[in-house]
């Protein structure tokens, strides 16, 4: 099953699992160096990428990797591995930058870990390119179109972020991942209109 995944999705999944195992072996000895730290003496630029390969427990990595497994392959086959990789890491970096802005504005002194920013970017792309595809929720088991699922999830994240519910969860980073994904897709749409038709990238059902 794992070997049937497209190469970029498979590589990201494998990297997350291997690094999670290393976290356990090293007892998080290097967590502070590679987690995303607030702007200050402990922040390093590489943390804008490395934080997305660290997780805080089995449940944390399971749900992120499950979402990657569910949505990544279809998007990668649609985008192509190159574009998919660029898109995923653009969302990761956008989520990290949004989290840095949030911690700076609020004065929070908390580190951030997890692939959720990249995952939320994938959710946005899935809703844009496959808006009518049915998604079955786990709890409760209710099917709904992808665009409804992602829009609802985004509203929940915004509400929780503004009201401060679920402390310890980087809700604005999740939204930042979606924003980064939207900007990448917008850039692709603008650029693709200036190239020959056979050079264009994937088109959304919403494209004109």
Instruction: Tell the burial category of 121 from Cβ atoms under 10 Å away from its Cβ (0-12, 13-18, 19+).
Output: buried
Residue 192 token pair: 């693709």
Strands (E), the chain: 134-136, 143-145
Domain 2-199 bears CATH identifier 1.20.1540.10? yes
Cα angle 113, 94, 178; round to 5: 95
pLDDT in tens, 71-128: 999 999 999 999 999 999 999 999 999 999 999 998 888 899 999 999 999 999 999 9
Cis status, amide bond into 140, omega within 30 of 0: yes
Return d(Cα 123, Cα 87) in angstroms, integer.
12
pLDDT in tens, 128-178: 999 999 887 766 678 889 999 899 888 888 887 777 667 778 889 999 999
Domain range summary for the chain, segments of one domain joined by +: 2-199
């Amino acid at each position: 099953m794992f070997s049937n995944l497209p190469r970029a999705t498979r590589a990201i999944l494998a990297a997350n699992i291997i690094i999670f195992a290393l976290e356990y072996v090293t007892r998080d000895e290097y967590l502070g160096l590679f987690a995303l730290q607030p702007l200050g003496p402990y922040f390093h630029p590489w943390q804008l990428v490395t934080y997305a390969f660290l997780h805080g427990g089995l449940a944390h990595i399971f749900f992120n990797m499950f979402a990657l497994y569910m949505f990544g392959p279809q998007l990668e086959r649609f985008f192509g591995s190159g574009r998919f990789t660029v898109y995923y890491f653009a969302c990761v970096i956008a989520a990290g930058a949004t989290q840095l802005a949030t911690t700076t504005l609020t004065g929070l002194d908390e580190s951030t870990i997890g692939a959720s920013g990249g995952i939320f970017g994938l959710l946005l792309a899935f809703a844009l390119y496959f808006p009518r595809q049915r998604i079955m929720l786990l709890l409760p088991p209710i099917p709904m179109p992808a665009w409804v699922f992602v829009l609802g999830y985004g509203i929940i994240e915004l509400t929780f972020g503004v009201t401060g519910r679920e402390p310890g969860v980087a809700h604005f980073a999740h939204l930042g991942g979606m924003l980064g994904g939207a900007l990448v897709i917008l850039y692709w749409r603008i650029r693709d209109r200036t190239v020959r038709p056979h050079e264009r990238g994937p088109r959304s059902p919403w494209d004109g």
